[in-house]
Structure 1
Amino acid sequence: MHIAIIGAAGMVGRKLIERLVREGGLSGRTIGKFTLIDVFQPEPPAGFDGTVDARAADLSAPGEAEKLVSARPDVIFHLAAIVSGEAELDFDKGYRINLDGTRYLFDAIRIANGQDGYKPRVVFTSSIAVFGAPLPYPIPDDFHTTPLTSYGTQKAISELLLSDYTRRGFFEGIGIRLPTICIRPGKPNAAASGFFSNILREPLVGQEAVLPVPETIRHWHASPRSAV
């Protein structure tokens, strides 16, 4: 089995690779090759005896999606995204990475499907940002998607594309709406929800952390391990 991971250098991407290498297979099939893509050079996984193609690439750049699809991976995990706060601050970058890059990938698969019947499994990481307030507890599967941010809008559009391309038989797609993943290691990133990691991570090393919301706020979380 050949597995491609876009966003392989990220927090969830690295843990996903570790899990797949540890288990050695997916859906009863042995993994023989990884293609690992990120804007930063991904590290080849330790302890993996198969083939690894790890490279830095921007999926929204011309030809990159086609290059990935030309190797015909059996499963594609699409984890790459510009996070919420950054997508809100840089409108063009958010839509270029989060929407255009996703659409380029889907279209490259669609074209390959028409050439030789290629039909991979595509796992797309969406977000609870596709929902809009007021939020019920718990959020049911059929709750309306009315995003309040550009990031949420980009994820919601991508979900519709995923559903439509799956309906048309171009690939087998599944979208997973992840909540806030914490505790995120390292320095704070530009995610609007990053403070949830900050208020836990920074005090552990003696640093001050600011809580920018009322203490009554309720939120959904998952650990990196449970997300994988």
Structure 2
Amino acid sequence: MRVLITGAAGMVGRKLIARLAKDGTLSGRKIAALDLHDIVPPQAPALEGVGVTIHTGDLAAASAMERLVAPRPDLIFHLAGVVSGEAEANFDLGYRVNLDGTRALFDAIRLAGFAPRVVFTSSIAVFGAPFPDIIPDEFHPTPLTSYGTQKLMGEALLADYTRRGFFDGIGIRLPTICVRP
């Protein structure tokens, strides 16, 4: 199995890589290759018999995503993003990375013509506030920040590309406590 992780140098990315290195498998399949991408070089894990490739650069840069999906990963963890405070402070950067970068990745997959599993990290910021301790499925998303809006748009893209069969996508809404170490 070939796995691509965007945002691999962030907190969630580093924990995911450590877990993959410990297990060596995912869903019962041996990990044969790891492609790790971030704006800064992610740390390569020590995995015997696993090819690890480090990629650095801007997620939204022209043709960056085409190069990342060219090896046709079986599973893509899209963890990359500009987090809430920075996305609010730098409107253009937030939209360029969180929306344009996400769409560039999704389009690169679509245009490459293969259908991997895509795990997209979103945020509870899509709900705004206040919200209950337990958020039911029918709770209406009403983001109050640019970050929440960007993540909600990413979720909509994920759902549409999945509906169209371009990939098998799933989103996970994380609390806004996960930042780069």
TM-score (norm 1): 0.76
Pairwise CA distance, 1:47: 3.6
Give the AA of the match of 2:147.
Y
> What residue in structure 1 maps to residue 149 of structure 2?
153
Distance 2:87 2:48 in 1: 35
* 19 and 97 in structure 1: CA distance in 2 versus 1, 3 angstrom threshold: same
Deviation >4 Å, runs of 4+: none
Bigger CA drift: 147-156 or 37-46?
Answer: 37-46
Instruction: Tell me which residue corresponds to 2:2.
Output: 2
Give the match for residue 103 of structure 2. 103
- The offset of 1:108, in angstroms, is 0.7
Q: 1:134: Cα distance to partner? A: 3.0
Q: Secondary structure, in 3 states, of the residue corresponding to 2:20?
A: helix
**For the residues of structure 2 that align with 1:48 and 1:40, how far apart are their CA atoms?**
24
Q: Is it true that 1:177 corresponds to 2:173 in the alignment?
A: yes
1:1-228 alignment runs, 5 A limit: 1-113=1-113, 118-181=114-177
Residue type at the aligned position of 1:13:
G
Matches of 1:148 and 1:84 in 2, distance apart? 11
* Deviations 1:186-221, CA, capped at 9 Å, x for gaps: 5xxxxxxxxxxxxxxxxxxxxxxxxxxxxxxxxxxx
Checking the alignment, whether the CA contact within 8 Å between 2:125 and 2:176 is kept in structure 1 is: no
Distance 1:185 1:173 in 2: 24
The answer (yes or no) to whether the contact 2:4–2:76 under 8 Å persists in 1 is yes
Question: Unaligned regions of 5+ residues in structure 1, if any?
Answer: 187-228
Contact 2:74 2:117 in 1 (8 A): yes
Q: Once structures 1 and 2 are overlaid, which stretch shifts more, 153-162 or 126-135?
A: 126-135
Residues in 1 aligned to 2:41 and 2:180: alpha-carbon distance in whole angstroms: 18
Cα pair distance change 1:168/1:81, threshold 3 Å: same
- Give, in whole Å, the separation in 1 of the partners of 2:161 and 2:82: 23
Query: Taking structure 2 as the reference length, what is the TM-score of the superposition?
Result: 0.96
Aligned length: 181
Q: Deviations over 1:50-83 (max 9, x none)?
A: 1011121211000001001111000000001101
Q: Secondary structure at the match of 1:93?
A: helix
Shift of 1:185: 8.3
> Larger C-alpha radius of gyration, 1 or 2?
1
Question: Could you say what secondary structure the match of 2:157 adopts?
Answer: helix
1:142 CA displacement: 1.7
Work out the CA distance in 2 between the residues paired with 1:136 and 1:43: 38
RMSD across aligned positions (CA): 1.4
